[in-house]
Structure 1
């Protein structure tokens, strides 16, 4: 099974990243639970985000299973309530990639770096790496975790 630290390393090599988190999707609550973090002090594992505020993001990443590219600080501010903390870490662009298994969204990779760091080519590279997170997110689901629908 690929460890999420290995996924982070591959993202760092192939896409570039300052802040990397993996969130497991909790469909019953429209929430995401952090299961991996490159910055555990600022973004601890176990933290949750509800995504009702960013309805367009939810429709794109979770419902349509499409990646999201936020190339600049304005886009980051639109999606993240914690944009000030994100900016304090030197991040001003984001790629969110759904992790899909058999048509079901298990979670999302959150890949952030300096403003202007990402483009469509970066998104394609990130998408190619998302399947590496499937085994780890399946394990979360198998343990009765959020991806399995348990709260």
Structure 2
């Protein structure tokens, strides 16, 4: 909570991450801290927290991107199978949570 408060925000950088998540509305996956460093300027803090892989799941409702769910884990954690599981299990609850939060 100290480093990344709940419902916190970070400045948006218009880079490859932005294109993947915002424009293409695809999941962004990086499985090493080196790949995270390419798109997140706070990669040193992320690494210091023991996180070296990430999935950013776009939350799209009615064709509009309303946020992302950001999941971090140890190096190499987000295999294609785990990403598919996230897609299958978390997409609908993420949309519901976003709708409730917007009320």
- Unmatched runs of 5 consecutive residues or more in structure 1: 1-39, 143-151
Distance 1:50 1:103, change over 3 A: same
RCO higher in structure (CA 8 A, sep ≥6): 1
The runs of at least 4 consecutive aligned structure 1 residues that moved more than 4 Å come to none
Question: What is the correspondence of 1:12-91 to structure 2 with a 5 Å cutoff?
Answer: 40-52=1-13, 54-91=14-51
Q: Quote the offset at 1:110 in angstroms.
A: 0.7
Contact kept, 8 Å, 1:95 with 1:118, in 2: the verdict is: yes
Aligned twin of 2:84: 124
Q: What TM-score, normalized by structure 2, do the two folds share?
A: 0.87
- Unmatched runs of 5 consecutive residues or more in structure 2: none
Structure having the larger proportion of residues in strand: 1
Q: What TM-score, normalized by structure 1, do the two folds share?
A: 0.62
Distance 1:90 1:68, change over 3 A: same
Aligned twin of 1:139: 100
